[in-house]
A and B are shown apart, each in its own frame.
Chain A
């Protein structure tokens, strides 16, 4: 007897393998009913499957029609997308009709192989022709078989559903079927790594952040202001008292005003964008209309307030007709009055900058030259708290998305991000500049900020990182005095000592203009890849690489050495003194001298 017995034998085992040229393309899908049908067939006594000997015989004797229909309409047996079974022989006829397969049921084997490239097989052999092909089963009757056996046999064949591969319009993308089985795609990590490496390199290649330089001022640019309603309009005040209004799209100056004698110390726009305020060294606060005067009219301010002391900074309230100036004290003014509504002071020193909180608008922050940062509450007309740092803070800026977070640009080359409720420890100390930080401004998304420094560079810091992600500099850019992030979060402007305002991209390698969806997808994918592989040494090195001017570079080296020396000394001191007698102070706490209630 044979082994295994016929009912144990899987029909698939005895089937012929798929024809040569197509094997590489796809794996046949096997219908797994072998297990069930074997026992069933054995019990009932009539098997759907034939023994190999029989099948071989049939194979030899049968004609070999290709069973692939030309179209679904021609062969009703091949239902759309679903397998179907048809009894009785029309099969042979159908086949004959459709393909002109051999008329004679008995046909030499040689013909068979030539009959069809894709769909040639016999009996229940599996024909693997295309992934989207469905199996259709046809049961051939005994009459079909030349031997005249009373056996029924299953014929499996493929059908194709045009829905799966035909485009609706010419504009559609070609459908590319793909098998996502991970077993078929080894080396996914190395491939993605290479992609990430390429993306990083390309990012560096395309990193050209500098967009434009706006020249026209006749002295160093001392202050900048954004237009609240118009992205293209920027205002700047220079050290010679001149105020200029710029159009960024045309990159030219729209309007020039000789606003003050001496420096323009501060400039701010009204929240509605109809007017702006300037303060200068001539002890005046002036309000100007945003639109220029009519033809022949003289350039005149709307209002002028003569003060007793020099005002060093100004900021406008975000909702109401109120603005704040700073100098000897912080004054809060109603736009309609010539006297401040209230003035708040704490200690006696000149205050260099005052800023309204953009979210909780009754809060103010100021920084003075006696090294402190003071917070005020406008409603209660009282200062709230004061923190004294190591060195003087030049400016502060509130986070536009997080009400209680602000960042202070300090003379000691660092920036400090504070939570205003816990001033004793800054949330983060941002270090990278090698000279005093003069200005800081938040991105409107609140995720990053830009800082301008005396070291002739501007840097972009993520709020939660202590190191900068980007540094911008050019040969001709001198000490950067003021910096602003535009309100669409795409560009950065900086005004510097050498009378120019420069426009930068916030993301150095970003492509400007409208992106197609595929470009967008590629950009997102590359971004994610860079993020994913950011810790890999090669990628990290390439991503971090920046060219720096020699002065900054050598300064950085020097600072590093100094810092290391200080650290070493600290460590040695701790090592050689009684344990516990020298307290270990964290970097964050080191710079805070005191918090005054």
Chain B
């Protein structure tokens, strides 16, 4: 049989024309009759054939390894069997027995499970392990970051790091072993024990606990009830107020307001009778309200509402009325006190204008004689200066005496004026309590009186008047209530002065502004003055011959102009700006002119040019003259070496590099450089510094004890690292910096798992 097969195969081989590749050809030939798919089997056969070629016939029968339907007589093969073998079928015995059911079940369970994925190869696994371990370690190490940073930046590090900690005994121990000896200590102890102050720190002291316990139940209840009542009342009141507030009716609110006002007035009147000092305070409040009103534009018909009404006013009577009301209110609010203060001297006049004038101006004026101390002082000092300047002219015989007196009276005058104002206020109050109409004639009478007095006293110098005031003040101080008549008479001339201070400036500014508003021109300087003078002359005819006073007034005017020009910006913006600018221009021009005159002699530019020329000359390299007179020719007094010789022996210096300031006419750049100093100077900004100034600053602060106190010196020279000689410095530990050192052992995990170790070791030993 085998021989036949062999023969067959050999025949097939011989059939091939090409003899190149034996197995390949063989395969090819086989594929002709059987097909490609079972090439492998053919290959097997071929191998068998080749192995059998060696002569010895050792061919084994193919072993039967699988069950199959077709059983050949020589070997078993599953070829051709279309059915699949199922494992369960094999297990099934001929007769079904119950004992195998469990096994079946298990089998089915196994089948239902999915297949396990292939494990990664070893390198991959190790790599993953490493990465995880590294991340974990890095995380552990990152806790040292702040410590390391702190140590790197530390001003001073003292090694070794671990310090011997001073043993601190708990406070109870200390106290128990300690007795109060000095009186102070005893006192303190007494205090502590009296209050039963705890040494340690519980929540409540015994005293507090006692006090807590002290309150009885009934008392507590009563208190609670009281509190409840109070709270209820409060809530009622609140609710009521809220309700009232919600009422929309205007009429209602008007009525309420009026009622309130009436009530207030009544109360005020009562107060005046009962308690005048409180009433005075009330008065001040009213005065304040007036000031507020004048400052604000509330009732000026300039608001949104007012504007809308103004449009309507043409057609609507009501609107007109409302506006009128507003205006009247404004008037009312603003006038009230003015009547009191101005009624004495000024008969009307400015009142009409006042509405038209911007209020800021008023404010300024008010401030001038009002509470602003700056304005006030400047005014008074002006008058004083005027007085001192004029005095020598008028009263030379008095001058020497006056100088000291006026100087000495500088402060008293200020006090005087305050007193005056108070007095005025009191007067006005009195008048208010009576009828206004009655008061006015009285005041006018007073002024007349005062003027007549002045005539009588032949209008002495102002300084004398001041002296009088001083005396009068003293009198007041000495005999306040006893001589009321004198007081009556005395204040009059005194009152004269503040008015003189106030009035002209107001009139002037008012008029000026009026004119500005109307004409927009800058002739105001010329115009108002005559006007004003006229007014003055009309108003105070008896003052007319008094020349110095007028002078003073003039000065005041000028001063006031200064005020106007150099006032706060708000004033400037409101008052027409063109004129002010012009004034400024003029001032500037004056200033420039002055400077020009002052420095008329110097020509700075020429001087500078000259200086520069000199500097350039000085820095030029010099020629060297080597001529020797008398050498090779006649010499002697009056003989000069010949020009040729001079030319010959003159060594011209090489021209240096061009100067840096050659093209800069306004600059001299010195090109001198001290080489010796340069060797000691830093050329390049050192690394950590970003600006040369930083570096210079570090250099400029001296650190030596010559320039610093001992303490500062020690601080400045502390070394960065301090070590103790002879002490071992151990590596930093977690406990040193306040971390908890891990209690976990550093031993590997496997160390704690002995089984694994042994297996591993066995393996190693095998290796």
By a beta-carbon cutoff of 8 Å, the part of chain A in contact with chain B is 1, 5, 7, 42-43, 45, 180, 182, 185, 188-189, 191-193, 195, 228-229, 231, 317-320, 322, 332, 334, 339, 341-342, 358-363, 375, 377-385, 400-405, 420-421, 444-447, 487-490, 514, 521, 524-525, 527-529, 532-533, 535-538, 597
What is the distance, in angstroms, from A204's C-beta to the closest C-beta of chain B?
18
* Across the A-B interface, the 7 shortest Cβ-Cβ residue pairs: A444-B729, A358-B731, A400-B731, A362-B746, A381-B748, A535-B686, A188-B702
What is the distance, in angstroms, from A372's C-beta to the closest C-beta of chain B?
14
**Hey, what's the 0/1 contact readout for B681-710 against A, CB within 8 Å counting as 1?**
111001000000001001110111111110
A528 and B717 form a contact (CB under 8 A): yes
A320 and B731 form a contact (CB under 8 A): no
Most buried by A among B148, B681, B695: B148
A360 and B728 form a contact (CB under 8 A): no
A43 and B411 form a contact (CB under 8 A): yes
Assess A597 versus B717: contact at CB under 8 Å? Given A342-B748, A380-B133: no
Q: In this assembly, does B335 line the interface, its C-beta being within 8 Å of a C-beta of chain A? A: no
B130 and A597 form a contact (CB under 8 A): yes
Q: In this assembly, does B129 line the interface, its C-beta being within 8 Å of a C-beta of chain A? A: yes
20 more A-B residue pairs beyond the given contacts A380-B749, A385-B130, A489-B159, with a C-beta to C-beta distance below 8 A: A188-B707, A231-B726, A334-B747, A339-B764, A359-B733, A360-B141, A377-B137, A378-B748, A379-B748, A380-B748, A401-B151, A404-B148, A420-B141, A445-B157, A445-B721, A525-B713, A532-B703, A535-B686, A536-B681, A538-B679
A384 and B133 form a contact (CB under 8 A): yes
Q: In this assembly, does B250 line the interface, its C-beta being within 8 Å of a C-beta of chain A? A: no
**Hey, what's the 0/1 contact readout for B114-139 against A, CB within 8 Å counting as 1?**
00000000000011011101101110
Can you list 22 A-B contacts with CB-CB less than 8 angstroms, sorted by A residue number? Answer: A188-B707, A189-B700, A229-B728, A339-B761, A359-B733, A360-B140, A361-B746, A363-B137, A377-B134, A378-B746, A379-B748, A400-B732, A420-B141, A445-B729, A446-B732, A487-B730, A489-B159, A489-B729, A490-B723, A527-B717, A537-B681, A597-B127
Query: A328 to B126, alpha carbons, bound, how many Å?
Result: 19
Q: In this assembly, does B716 line the interface, its C-beta being within 8 Å of a C-beta of chain A? A: yes
Query: A464 to B733, alpha carbons, bound, how many Å?
Result: 22
Query: A444 to B725, alpha carbons, bound, how many Å?
Result: 13
Selected from B702, B728, B744, the residue in CB contact (under 8 A) with A189 is B702
A182 and B707 form a contact (CB under 8 A): yes
Selected from A320, A341, A381, A535, the residue in CB contact (under 8 A) with B682 is A535
Query: A423 to B709, alpha carbons, bound, how many Å?
Result: 49
Query: A528 to B720, alpha carbons, bound, how many Å?
Result: 10
Main secondary structure of the interface of A (DSSP, over half): loop
What is the distance, in angstroms, from B745's C-beta to the closest C-beta of chain A?
7
In the bound complex, residues from chain A placing their C-beta under 8 Å from that of B682 are 535-537
Assess A445 versus B703: contact at CB under 8 Å? Given A180-B708, A378-B747, A381-B748: no
Query: A341 to B753, alpha carbons, bound, how many Å?
Result: 11
Assess A43 versus B133: contact at CB under 8 Å? Given A180-B709, A421-B138: no
A524 and B141 form a contact (CB under 8 A): no
Selected from A191, A378, A380, A521, the residue in CB contact (under 8 A) with B717 is A521
Query: A189 to B746, alpha carbons, bound, how many Å?
Result: 56
A43 and B725 form a contact (CB under 8 A): no
B706 and A185 form a contact (CB under 8 A): yes
What is the distance, in angstroms, from A503's C-beta to the closest C-beta of chain B?
15
What is the distance, in angstroms, from A16's C-beta to the closest C-beta of chain B?
28
Residue of A nearest to B733 (CB): A359
State the interface size on chain B (CB cutoff 8 A): 72
B704 and A525 form a contact (CB under 8 A): yes
Residue of A nearest to B142 (CB): A421
Selected from B138, B407, B716, B723, the residue in CB contact (under 8 A) with A445 is B723
B761 and A537 form a contact (CB under 8 A): no
Query: A43 to B126, alpha carbons, bound, how many Å?
Result: 101
Selected from A185, A380, A444, A446, the residue in CB contact (under 8 A) with B707 is A185
What is the distance, in angstroms, from B676's C-beta to the closest C-beta of chain A?
11
What is the distance, in angstroms, from A448's C-beta to the closest C-beta of chain B?
9
A524 and B719 form a contact (CB under 8 A): yes
Residue of B nearest to A597 (CB): B131
What is the distance, in angstroms, from B137's C-beta to the closest C-beta of chain A?
6
Query: A359 to B130, alpha carbons, bound, how many Å?
Result: 21
Query: A384 to B137, alpha carbons, bound, how many Å?
Result: 9
Q: In this assembly, does B718 line the interface, its C-beta being within 8 Å of a C-beta of chain A? A: yes
Q: In this assembly, does B583 line the interface, its C-beta being within 8 Å of a C-beta of chain A? A: no
Query: A45 to B714, alpha carbons, bound, how many Å?
Result: 55
Residue of B nearest to A520 (CB): B719
Query: A401 to B151, alpha carbons, bound, how many Å?
Result: 9
In the bound complex, residues from chain A placing their C-beta under 8 Å from that of B750 are 341-342, 381
In the bound complex, residues from chain B placing their C-beta under 8 Å from that of A514 are 725
Query: A226 to B760, alpha carbons, bound, how many Å?
Result: 35
A525 and B729 form a contact (CB under 8 A): no
Residue of A nearest to B724 (CB): A488
A489 and B723 form a contact (CB under 8 A): yes
A532 and B130 form a contact (CB under 8 A): no
B133 and A377 form a contact (CB under 8 A): yes
Assess A42 versus B407: contact at CB under 8 Å? Given A382-B129, A445-B721: yes
Q: In this assembly, does B7 line the interface, its C-beta being within 8 Å of a C-beta of chain A? A: no
Q: In this assembly, does B261 line the interface, its C-beta being within 8 Å of a C-beta of chain A? A: no
Q: In this assembly, does B11 line the interface, its C-beta being within 8 Å of a C-beta of chain A? A: no
Q: In this assembly, does B403 line the interface, its C-beta being within 8 Å of a C-beta of chain A? A: yes
Query: A342 to B759, alpha carbons, bound, how many Å?
Result: 12
A192 and B731 form a contact (CB under 8 A): no
Residue of A nearest to B400 (CB): A1
Residue of A nearest to B765 (CB): A339
A532 and B144 form a contact (CB under 8 A): no
Assess A341 versus B707: contact at CB under 8 Å? Given A362-B746, A402-B144, A597-B127: no
Query: A359 to B736, alpha carbons, bound, how many Å?
Result: 11
Query: A537 to B677, alpha carbons, bound, how many Å?
Result: 11
Query: A373 to B717, alpha carbons, bound, how many Å?
Result: 42
Selected from A341, A358, A400, A521, the residue in CB contact (under 8 A) with B747 is A341
Assess A192 versus B141: contact at CB under 8 Å? Given A342-B750, A361-B746: no
Q: In this assembly, does B14 line the interface, its C-beta being within 8 Å of a C-beta of chain A? A: no
Most buried by A among B144, B679, B709: B144
B717 and A524 form a contact (CB under 8 A): yes
What is the distance, in angstroms, from B737's C-beta to the closest C-beta of chain A?
10
In the bound complex, residues from chain B placing their C-beta under 8 Å from that of A536 are 680-682
Query: A376 to B352, alpha carbons, bound, how many Å?
Result: 102
Assess A488 versus B723: contact at CB under 8 Å? Given A384-B134, A403-B141, A524-B717: yes
In the bound complex, residues from chain B placing their C-beta under 8 Å from that of A405 are 148
Assess A193 versus B134: contact at CB under 8 Å? Given A403-B144, A488-B726: no
A447 and B721 form a contact (CB under 8 A): yes
Selected from B703, B744, B749, the residue in CB contact (under 8 A) with A381 is B749
B699 and A597 form a contact (CB under 8 A): no
Selected from A180, A228, A529, the residue in CB contact (under 8 A) with B703 is A529
Most buried by A among B129, B680, B718, B719: B680
Residue of A nearest to B712 (CB): A180
Query: A410 to B680, alpha carbons, bound, how many Å?
Result: 39
Q: In this assembly, does B277 line the interface, its C-beta being within 8 Å of a C-beta of chain A? A: no
B718 and A524 form a contact (CB under 8 A): yes
Most buried by A among B679, B682, B732, B757: B732
Residue of A nearest to B407 (CB): A42
In the bound complex, residues from chain B placing their C-beta under 8 Å from that of A537 are 679-683
In the bound complex, residues from chain A placing their C-beta under 8 Å from that of B724 are 488
Q: In this assembly, does B727 line the interface, its C-beta being within 8 Å of a C-beta of chain A? A: yes
In the bound complex, residues from chain B placing their C-beta under 8 Å from that of A229 are 728
Selected from B144, B717, B749, the residue in CB contact (under 8 A) with A525 is B717
Query: A228 to B729, alpha carbons, bound, how many Å?
Result: 10
Query: A488 to B160, alpha carbons, bound, how many Å?
Result: 9
In the bound complex, residues from chain B placing their C-beta under 8 Å from that of A447 are 721
What is the distance, in angstroms, from A195's C-beta to the closest C-beta of chain B?
7
Q: In this assembly, does B249 line the interface, its C-beta being within 8 Å of a C-beta of chain A? A: no
Query: A332 to B707, alpha carbons, bound, how many Å?
Result: 61
Query: A558 to B750, alpha carbons, bound, how many Å?
Result: 53
In the bound complex, residues from chain A placing their C-beta under 8 Å from that of B749 are 379-381
Residue of A nearest to B144 (CB): A403
Query: A322 to B225, alpha carbons, bound, how many Å?
Result: 79
